[in-house]
């Protein structure tokens, strides 16, 4: 895999670009930028920038405008340039002249909305001028200038020429999942500001119980944003032309509500906390009440997301507390029941000044689309059978993609080669390449009335959001310019922009983290869960009876026989491929940790993200070393059997003791690694606790969806599957066998507990 990296501000090109596909004009000159501008006309030379340049404020701009303050702050923090409005000589001029920048071809038909974000950047040795039709466009022009500023040696450089730029789609959202944890307010602000740097203008945030709802106080978790906090975040984001967009599920995906006894009467099915009864007036009142609380703390924003995601069972209930089935018969389909729910909630939101984004998916069928209100926006596209009908009904749409789904620890930015896998992979798709391809080739470009996009970073597996930024930035860039660079070029531009121009081999860092996370997942075995309550149903049907959930496990070595320490020592042979994978992964982990430590020293920005990566690397490493430790246990027990057979009782007992100590060492290493990871996570997260601030967390699992972070109240979900291993039983059996044999040979016994589940 080619490894692009920046040295002294110069961006080195991936081998694939050198061998074949030509890089973009800016990258060919050594300039990294995300997203790639639409029109770039470069002169033959570069411009020396920095000392001696001043700021010139033109028409429509004030000294306190966001563009001015951002230009001054970014140049100062990144390059030490103090750009002020005094003196004479060469100047960076900012000006807003309505109608001065004309966008070219766009997918979005709302040219007025597009034009407000357009800008023109003119660069010459004598002057730099950024012109825009409106304030948002001027801000984007400023961020383009900042991104293009390149340090080489002791000088700063910019390309000479002219750039004219505009977005292809007016709303470019990232989805921030705070359902299973809560970022501190300062961290949320940092994320918003980082998003704006890459011209993202929608920050869709899912809080679930991490917001202090006045209408439903029982579901508020120990740590939760107050209304004041959310409004502060909203106001901060608007300053940078980002809309913080509240995201609330309904009627499905709301176990965080329906698990509480106070709201159980609103369930669609009494024995499932997954979905509420869409025809119950009290359920509508609950939903609109919660939305009302969010709206009151989110003033200044237009979009809001009514996430009708995966409402599998709408229209199916016919029980004492929900009679949706009767209503479905009256309306003609279960999809019409969902139409009715959407209409009631969306009308409330529209009447409160909001643009409603929903998911127009299953169980909706094409024949149900005309039952929806035409003022809603569909947050997804569904292909040629659906999209033309949404368009004909006046419903605009957005392209949905994701940078993370259900991967453990790290997104699949790179796909582990098939030859390194123990199990067949369900998908070999690489996140950035696949998502950009989805945006560029989506048939909705021909069939739908598109106005935006959303890149999701799902928190279902409890990943740290720092792992999502590569996808957030490069995928949304295709929503700005679908004719931009391919995924590899976009990724190579990300590293110096996000971490600083001096970082090295970051492409390899991301590749190694992707591979390590996939190997971690691949070296477990999937089994029915004995720890999680059964799953109530799936998208196809309700399970009667419920089906077992799934867990991950590992085979453990056998325990020795009590009388003679006889041992069936086949574990290492039976797990040879697993051990081979672990050994190769540990060698890669050495390389990964070395690169991370080097880049922690070299990085100028976002060093915390590298700290998170170090913690992830150690969590993965602990698993691989555990596999090798199990092989050592296997070897020690085999040695004990041989020694016992040779009548060398002290040596036999010593070998068993070493096996027992290896198990204790695995536990200690696991706990130490978890403590370090938790400390790193909690630099930006509020603690995951059962009780705080006078509120308690009701720990009850979703009846349909199995989200790993929900398995534990604390951060121990990061080592959850290891905690499930029957190591305690193995240890007790082995210690008992050891003591029986020791007594028979007049040797001391031992009674040291393992306490496998203890995290102390």
Q: For residue 414, what are the CA distances in angstroms to 428, 509, 514, 531, 620?
A: 9, 11, 6, 32, 17
Asked if 516 and 617 count as a contact pair (C-beta separation under 8 A), the reply is yes
Give pLDDT tens digits for 102-156: 999 999 999 999 999 999 999 999 999 999 999 999 999 999 999 999 998 889 9
Give pLDDT tens digits for 325-335: 999 999 999 99
Q: What is the mean pLDDT of residues 338-349?
A: 98
Whether the per-residue pLDDT at 2 is higher than 70: the answer is no
Whether the per-residue pLDDT at 70 is higher than 70: the answer is yes
pLDDT at 12: 38
Q: What is the mean pLDDT of residues 726-752?
A: 97
Long-range contacts of 437-444 (CB under 8 A, 24+ apart): 438/399, 438/401, 439/399, 439/401, 439/475, 439/478, 439/479, 439/482, 440/478, 440/482, 442/381, 442/399, 443/381, 443/383, 443/384, 443/387, 444/381, 444/383, 444/387, 444/397, 444/399
Q: Are strands 39-49 and 10-11 parallel, antiparallel or unpaired?
A: unpaired
Q: CA-CA distance, 303 to 355, in Å (whole number)?
A: 5
Give pLDDT tens digits for 298-324: 999 999 999 999 999 999 999 999 999
Whether the per-residue pLDDT at 15 is higher than 60: the answer is no
Give pLDDT tens digits for 201-258: 999 999 999 999 999 999 999 999 999 999 999 999 999 999 999 999 999 999 999 9
Q: Are strands 6-7 and 10-11 parallel, antiparallel or unpaired?
A: antiparallel
Asked if 518 and 461 count as a contact pair (C-beta separation under 8 A), the reply is no
pLDDT at 24: 87
Residues shown for the chain: 760
Q: What is the mean pLDDT of residues 35-52?
A: 94
DSSP structure string for 247-260: EEE-SSS-HHHHTS
Q: What is the mean pLDDT of residues 446-456?
A: 98
> Same topology for domains 39-165 and 171-497, yes or no?
no
Give pLDDT tens digits for 89-109: 899 999 999 999 999 999 999
Q: Does domain 171-497 have CATH number 3.20.20.80?
A: yes
Task: Domain ranges for the chain, please list them.
Answer: 39-165, 171-497, 525-744
Whether the per-residue pLDDT at 7 is higher than 60: the answer is no
Whether the per-residue pLDDT at 18 is higher than 60: the answer is no
Q: CA-CA distance, 414 to 510, in Å (whole number)?
A: 8
Q: What is the per-residue burial (b if ≥16 Cβ within 10 Å, else e) of 236-262?
A: bbbebbbbbbbbbbbbbbbbbbbbbee
Q: What is the mean pLDDT of residues 442-460?
A: 97
Give pLDDT tens digits for 347-388: 999 999 999 999 999 999 999 999 999 999 999 999 999 999
pLDDT at 21: 57
pLDDT at 23: 81
Q: What is the mean pLDDT of residues 696-707?
A: 96
Which candidate, 415, 407, 388, places its Cα nearest to that of 457? 407
pLDDT at 16: 35
Q: For residue 632, what are the CA distances in angstroms to 621, 629, 658, 663, 753?
A: 16, 5, 9, 10, 20
Residue 321 neighbours by CB under 8 Å, 6+ apart: 265, 266, 267, 270, 277, 280
Q: CA-CA distance, 568 to 675, in Å (whole number)?
A: 36
Give the pair of three-digit tokens for residue 124.
Answer: 């010459």
Q: CA-CA distance, 178 to 209, in Å (whole number)?
A: 9
CA torsion, points 143, 230, 307, 311, in degrees to nearest 10? 140
- Model confidence at 66, pLDDT cuts 50, 70, 90, reads very high
508: number of Cβ within 10 Å: 19
Percent of the chain with pLDDT over 70: 97
Q: For residue 14, what are the CA distances in angstroms to 7, 494, 512?
A: 14, 13, 17
Asked if 605 and 500 count as a contact pair (C-beta separation under 8 A), the reply is yes
Give the pair of three-digit tokens for residue 717.
Answer: 């979900």
Q: CA-CA distance, 210 to 183, in Å (whole number)?
A: 10
Give pLDDT tens digits for 643-672: 999 999 999 999 999 999 999 999 999 999
Give pLDDT tens digits for 543-590: 999 999 999 999 999 999 999 999 999 999 999 999 999 999 999 999
Please count the CA atoms within 13 angstroms of the CA of 419 that sit on its side-chain side.
Answer: 1
Mean per-residue pLDDT over the chain, rounded: 95
Which candidate, 301, 398, 295, 278, places its Cα nearest to that of 349? 295
Asked if 6 and 12 count as a contact pair (C-beta separation under 8 A), the reply is yes
Whether the per-residue pLDDT at 408 is higher than 70: the answer is yes
pLDDT at 345: 98
- The fold for domain 39-165 equals Chitobiase; domain 2 (3.30.379)
Burial class (CB in 10 A: 0-12, 13-18, 19+), 124: middle
Helix pair angle (334-351, 324-331), 10° resolution: 90
Cross-strand pairs, 456: 175, 402
Mark residue 403 as left, alpha or beta (left: phi above 0; alpha: psi -120 to 50; beta: remaining): alpha
Residue 209 neighbours by CB under 8 Å, 6+ apart: 219, 220, 221, 224, 256, 697
Which candidate, 691, 569, 573, places its Cα nearest to that of 634? 569
């Amino acid at each position: 895999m080619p490894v692009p990296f920046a040295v002294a501000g110069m961006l080195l090109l991936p081998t694939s670009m050198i061998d074949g596909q030509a890089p973009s004009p800016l990258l060919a000159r050594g300039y990294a930028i995300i997203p790639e501008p639409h029109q770039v006309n470069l002169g033959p030379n570069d411009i020396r920038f920095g000392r001696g340049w001043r700021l010139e404020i033109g028409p429509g701009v004030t000294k306190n405008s966001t563009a001015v303050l951002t230009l001054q702050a970014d140049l100062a923090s990144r390059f030490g340039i103090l750009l002020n409005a005094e003196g004479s000589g060469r100047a960076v001029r900012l000006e807003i002249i309505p109608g001065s920048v004309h966008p070219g071809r766009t997918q979005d038909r709302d040219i007025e909305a597009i034009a407000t974000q357009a800008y023109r950047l003119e660069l010459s040795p004598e002057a730099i001028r950024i012109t825009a039709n409106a304030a948002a466009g001027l801000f984007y022009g400023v961020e383009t200038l900042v991104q293009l500023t390149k340090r080489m040696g002791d000088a700063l450089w910019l390309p000479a020429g002219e750039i004219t730029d505009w977005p292809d789609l007016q709303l470019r959202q990232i989805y921030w999942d705070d359902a299973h944890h809560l970022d501190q307010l300062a961290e949320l602000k940092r994320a918003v500001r980082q998003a704006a740097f890459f011209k993202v203008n929608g920050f869709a945030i899912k809080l679930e119980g991490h917001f202090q709802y006045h209408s439903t106080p029982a579901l508020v978790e120990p740590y939760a944003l107050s209304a004041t906090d959310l409004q502060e975040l909203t106001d901060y984001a608007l300053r940078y032309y980002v809309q913080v967009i509240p995201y609330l599920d309904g009627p499905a995906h709301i176990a965080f509500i329906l698990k509480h006894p106070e709201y159980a009467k609103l369930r669609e099915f009494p024995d499932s906390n997954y979905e509420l009864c869409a025809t119950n007036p009290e359920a509508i009142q609950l939903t609109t009440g919660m939305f009302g609380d969010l709206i009151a703390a989110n003033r200044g924003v237009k979009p809001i997301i009514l996430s009708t995601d995966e409402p599998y069972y709408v229209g199916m209930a016919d029980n004492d507390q929900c009679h949706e089935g009767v209503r479905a018969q009256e309306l003609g389909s279960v999809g019409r029941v969902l139409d009715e729910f959407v209409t009631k909630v969306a009308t409330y939101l529209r009447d409160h000044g909001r643009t409603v984004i929903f998911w127009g998916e299953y169980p909706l069928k094409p024949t149900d689309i005309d039952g929806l209100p035409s003022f809603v926006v569909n947050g997804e596209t569904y292909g040629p059978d659906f999209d033309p009908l949404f368009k004909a009904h006046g419903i605009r749409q957005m392209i949905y993609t994701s940078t993370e789904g259900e991967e453990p620890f790290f997104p699949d930015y790179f796909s582990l080669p098939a030859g390194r896998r123990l199990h067949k992979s369900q998908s070999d798709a690489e996140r950035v390449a696949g998502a950009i391809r989805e945006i560029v080739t989506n048939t909705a470009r021909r069939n739908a009335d598109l106005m935006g996009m959303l890149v999701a970073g799902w928190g279902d597996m409890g990943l740290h959001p720092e792992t999502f930024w590569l996808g957030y930035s490069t995928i949304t860039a295709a929503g700005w310019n679908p004719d931009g660079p391919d995924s590899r070029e976009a990724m190579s531009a990300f590293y110096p922009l996000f971490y600083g121009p001096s970082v090295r081999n970051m492409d390899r860092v991301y590749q190694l983290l992707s591979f390590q996370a996939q190997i971690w997942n691949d070296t477990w075995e999937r089994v029915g869960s004995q720890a999680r309550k059964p799953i109530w149903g799936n998208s196809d049907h309700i399970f009667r009876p419920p089906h077992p959930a799934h867990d991950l496990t590992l085979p453990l070595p056998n325990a020795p026989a009590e009388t003679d320490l006889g041992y069936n020592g086949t574990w290492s042979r039976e797990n040879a491929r697993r051990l081979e994978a672990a050994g190769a992964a540990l060698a890669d982990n050495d390389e990964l940790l070395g690169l991370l430590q080097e880049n922690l020293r070299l990085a100028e920005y976002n060093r915390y993200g590298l700290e998170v990566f170090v913690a992830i690397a150690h969590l993965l490493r602990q698993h691989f070393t555990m596999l090798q430790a199990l092989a050592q246990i296997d070897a020690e027990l085999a040695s004990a059997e041989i020694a016992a057979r040779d009548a060398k009782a002290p040596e036999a007992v010593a070998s068993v003791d070493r096996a027992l100590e290896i198990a204790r060492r695995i536990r200690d290493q696991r706990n130490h690694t978890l403590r370090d990871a938790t400390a790193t996570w909690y630099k930006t997260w509020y603690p995951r606790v059962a009780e705080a601030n006078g509120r308690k967390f009701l720990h009850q699992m979703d009846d349909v969806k199995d989200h790993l972070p929900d398995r534990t109240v604390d951060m121990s979900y990061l080592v959850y599957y290891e905690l499930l291993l029957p190591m305690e039983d193995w240890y007790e059996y082995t210690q008992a066998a050891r003591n029986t044999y020791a007594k028979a040979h007049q040797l001391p016994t031992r009674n040291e507990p393992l306490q496998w589940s203890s995290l102390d």
